[in-house]
Amino acid sequence: MAVLDRVSSPRDLRRLSDDDLEQLAAEIRTALVAAVSRTGGHLGPNLGVVEVTLALHRVFDSPHDPIVFDTGHQSYVHKMVTGRRNAFSTLRQEGGLSGYPSRTESEHDWVENSHASTSLSYAEGLAKGYQLKGDADRRVVAVIGDGALTGGMAWEALNNIAGQPDLPLVIVVNDNGRSYSPTVGGLAQYLDSLRTSPLYERALGAAKVVLKRTPVVGPPAFTALHGVKQGIKDVLAPQGMFEDLGLKYVGPIDGHDREAVEHALRAARGFPGPVIVHCLTEKGRGYDRAEQDEADLMHGPGPFDPATGKPTAAAATTWTSVFSDEIVAIGTRRSDVVAITAAMLQPTGLKGFADRYPDRCYDVGIAEQHAMTSAAGLAMAGLHPVVALYATFVNRAFDQVLMDVALHRLPVTIVLDRAGVTGDDGASHNGMWDLSLLQLVPGIALAAPRDGSRLRELLVEAVDVSDGPTVVRFPKGAVTNDVPAVQRVGTTDVLVRDGDEEVLVVAVGSMAPVGLEVAQRLADHGIGVTVVDPRWVVPVDASIVDLARRHRFVLTIEDNGRVGGVGTRIAQAMRDAGVRTPLHDAGIPQEFLDHAKRSAILTQIGLTGQNLARLAVEEIARLAADSPSNVPASHAEPSRSDD
């Protein structure tokens, strides 16, 4: 019987022998590769934390002792040993296991995350809360990667933790030297100095022997352990950054030596204050395709063949790759264009630009806020920065866009990939807030390209703007076929003009194909329809208001939250101009959407041609009923034949 089959809760782990535990680690790795190769998901990060996770669950009493995984993408092993092993065939599938910790799944999952660098703040609050309530026997653990440790929130939390020397809190730094790409910055260099020194390698062997002999009960054990490690650390890293901050430090420890990790954790558990346990791990450990993965494609691959590591789906031209090519072309023409990524060079498509113009491309770590204000500084210096983020992560930098970029009318272009429903990664990865948030910013211009040609065109237009921020947002995945315009009015493309001016469909960006389907269905019902793509959705183009005035009903369709979205903004512009045409603003309901395929979610929330055409037909029928003389008789009854 596989050892994994004998583990249904962390308690079972504590009964296993060393041999069983070694066997278990191997079985978990096999199960991880098998599951992720079928469903896609986070592989490299999870292969790297197998021993650390086993050690954590043997030393701490989850869920009584909360274990908070930063970002949460490395929580699969934790899920496997907390009773969810048999559900892995449903990973990231509708109704199945989430790719991140999920409170509805298990009492062992304390937070719902995916946005990085929050674990230390959660942990600090939990520990402080238990302290206040007198729950002295509870220990709180945060597990944070060297990548997540580059985020500003982590530093804010460290500052607060360091100011509470009697706060019992264990911070496990899972240091694999990488975010997606190698982690950047001074902290990374500091951690690297601990990791790579040959002195450390030699000292580690000796230290392990001492560690394993150290009795591990309470503060004295910590002191003994710490003394040993202090000696090592001082040789290697005289600056002692963590200790200078006032935090106890244990490490570095070989994160694949489960026994050594356990010893360190037990010592840390017994210490009555905050302790950093620094574990060195290897991303992708145990699966050669992930270990030799310089481009870090195994960080979060789609379905792949485990034998070759190659994706099983045919490669398609993605929105990201169109952006990637165009930004290189722009960079070639414009030496003032510089690019910034927050630790996502490859995923945001900036790798090509970085290869071509290494001096003009900056990876700032998981630091969206800093990225934005640094862009403001670059713009003040006379450059035109392009900050490439996933749409969901721009939420982090709202104040910086508002006060640091826009207030100074600085020319910064923000490129948002993964805008709209992304689906598989669940609630926090959907890019459904950017248009609502960013349209609050005075002087900003927001573009939503409908296809690859428009993405290229709008990107060029965006970097040509010299007074204030511009945004270009587009969805995840394969780029759709180009949708030609029949006419351009103002900045707006007219895609369809069919029959009388009855329904005006304003299709935002990637919703153009849905708009076209609505038009086709309305035409089938003999209803006149105009479909437009505003291209620049903010500010609202005057021609949209003019068109709205001439039509009987306006339907806006956007892949963004309905509250404060483009539809609301157009309705407001219409009201301001005295245009009373009824408007329906179709978009994403203001809810946290469970993970599922994008197409399934769009259907579920009614963002389909069929549903929206029915809505428009019904509206035209209602208007006809209100004033029959204005509408051809053939429109009076809505048809439901295509329900």
Ligand X SMILES: Cc1ncc(C[n+]2csc(CCOP(=O)(O)OP(=O)(O)O)c2C)c(N)n1
147 binds ligand X (CB under 6 A): yes
d(CA 277, CA 249): 6
Q: Which is nearer to ligand X, 97 or 397 (CB)?
A: 397
Given candidates 110, 323, 393, 474, which one binds ligand X under the rule CB under 6 A? 393
Does residue 179 belong to the site contacting ligand X (CB under 6 A)?
A: yes
3-class DSSP string for 469-514: CEEEECCCCECCCCCCCCEEECCEEEEEEECCCCEEEEECHHHHHH
> Which stretch in 176-184, 444-452, 525-533, 606-614 sits in contact with ligand X by CB under 6 A?
176-184
Calpha distance 529→503 (Å, rounded): 5
- Of 119 and 568, the one with the shorter C-beta distance to ligand X is 119
Q: Residues 92, 108, 278, 396: which binds ligand X (CB under 6 A)?
A: 396
Interaction pattern, residues 264-303, with ligand X; x per rule: CB under 6 A: -------------------x--------------------
Identity of the residue numbered 482: D
Q: Give yes or no for residue 154 binding ligand X (CB under 6 A).
A: no
Is there binding between residue 529 and ligand X (CB under 6 A)?
no
- Tell me how far, at minimum, the Cβ of 42 lies from ligand X, in Å: 7
- Residue from 229, 289, 396, 562 carrying the catalytic annotation: 396
Q: Does residue number 364 form part of the binding site for ligand X (CB under 6 A)?
A: no
Length of the chain: 643
E runs forming strands in 325-393:
337-341, 361-363, 384-390
Q: Is the Cβ of residue 207 or residue 388 nearer to ligand X in the bound state?
A: 388
Contact (CB, 8 A) for 260 and 51: no
How is the beta sheet containing 140-145 ordered, strand by strand? 67-69, 140-145, 169-175, 274-280, 248-254
* CA atoms of 125 and 463, how far apart (whole Å): 43
**Nearest distance, CB of residue 114 and ligand X, angstroms:** 6
- Please say which residue, 155 or 490, places its beta carbon nearer to ligand X: 155
With residue 356 as reference, give the H or E element that holds it. helix 351-356
State the nearest-atom distance from the C-beta of 116 to ligand X, in Å: 3
**Binding region for ligand X (CB under 6 A) out of 95-103, 175-183, 374-382, 605-613:** 175-183
Separation CA 47–CA 282 (nearest Å): 8
The residues in 325-354 that bind ligand X, with binding defined as CB under 6 A, are 342-344
**Which residue blocks in 552-608 are alpha helix, DSSP H?**
566-576, 598-604
CA distance 376 to 94: 41
Binding of residue 178 to ligand X (CB under 6 A) = yes
Among 40, 99, 101, 145, binds ligand X (CB under 6 A): 145
Is 233 tagged catalytic? no
CA distances from 606 to 138, 327, 556, 557 (A): 46, 34, 13, 11
Stretch that binds ligand X, among 172-180, 254-262, 451-459, 470-478 (CB under 6 A): 172-180
Q: With contacts defined by CB under 6 A, how many residues of the chain interact with ligand X?
A: 25
The reply on whether position 153 binds ligand X by CB under 6 A is no
**Minimum distance from CB of 570 to ligand X (Å)?**
31
Indicate whether 256 belongs to the interface with ligand X (CB under 6 A): no
415 versus 620: smaller Cβ distance to ligand X: 415
Given CA atoms 461, 463, 467, 470 in this order, what sign does their dihedral have? positive
Q: Per residue in 432-452, is it b (16+ CB within 10 Å) or e — as a string?
A: bbbbbbbbebeebbbbbbbbb
Interface region with ligand X, contact rule CB under 6 A, candidates 108-116, 134-142, 268-276, 451-459: 108-116
450's tokens:
């409908």
Q: Which is nearer to ligand X, 189 or 599 (CB)?
A: 189
Using CB under 6 A as the binding rule, whether residue 58 contacts ligand X is answered as: no
Question: Greatest CA separation found in the chain?
Answer: 94
116 touches ligand X (CB under 6 A): yes
Q: Show contacts with ligand X in window 30-49 (CB under 6 A).
A: 45, 48
Q: Which of 53, 114, 318, 320 binds ligand X (CB under 6 A)?
A: 114
CA distance 14 to 366: 36
Q: Which stretch binds ligand X (CB under 6 A): 68-76, 197-205, 419-427, 508-516?
A: 68-76
- Does residue number 426 form part of the binding site for ligand X (CB under 6 A)? no
Q: Which is nearer to ligand X, 300 or 609 (CB)?
A: 300
Asked if 362 interacts with ligand X (CB under 6 A), we say: no
Identity of the residue, 349 or 468, whose beta carbon is nearer to ligand X in the bound complex? 349
- Selected from 115, 195, 248, 258, the binder of ligand X by CB under 6 A is 115
CB of 466 to ligand X, least distance (A): 29
Q: Is 146 in the site for ligand X (CB under 6 A)?
A: yes
Residues of this chain, 614-633, that bind ligand X according to CB under 6 A: none
What is the β-pairing status of strands 529-533 and 337-341?
Answer: unpaired
CA pair distance 168, 51, nearest whole angstrom = 23
* Residue position matching structure tokens 């558990």: 269
**CB of residue 365 to ligand X, shortest distance in Å:** 8
Closer residue to ligand X in complex, CB, 43/386: 43
* Site track for ligand X across 71-100, x = CB under 6 A: x-xx--------------------------
The closest of 473, 439, 444 to 566, measured between CA atoms, is 439
Residue 614 among the catalytic residues: no
Structural contact between residues 501 and 424, judged by C-beta atoms closer than 8 angstroms: no
- Asked if residue 181 binds ligand X (CB under 6 A), the reply is no
Interatomic CA distance for residues 443 and 445, integer angstroms: 7
What's CA 455's distance to the chain center, in Å? Answer: 22
| 180 is a contact residue toward ligand X (CB under 6 A) | yes
Residue 587, interface with ligand X (CB under 6 A)? no
Torsion over CA of 324, 329, 333 and 338, rounded to 10 degrees? 10
Report if residue 366 touches ligand X, rule: CB under 6 A: yes
Nearest CA among 445, 458, 528 for reference residue 488: 458
Whichever of 296 and 404 has its CB closer to ligand X, that residue is 296
Residue of 344, 351, 358, 297 lying closest to 327 (CA atoms): 351
The answer to whether residue 27 is catalytic is no
Q: Based on DSSP, count helices (H) and strands (E) in the chain, helices before strands.
A: 24, 18
Residues that bind ligand X (CB under 6 A): 45, 48, 71, 73-74, 114-116, 145-148, 174, 176, 178-180, 283, 342-344, 366, 368, 393, 396
Just list the catalytic residues: 283, 368, 396
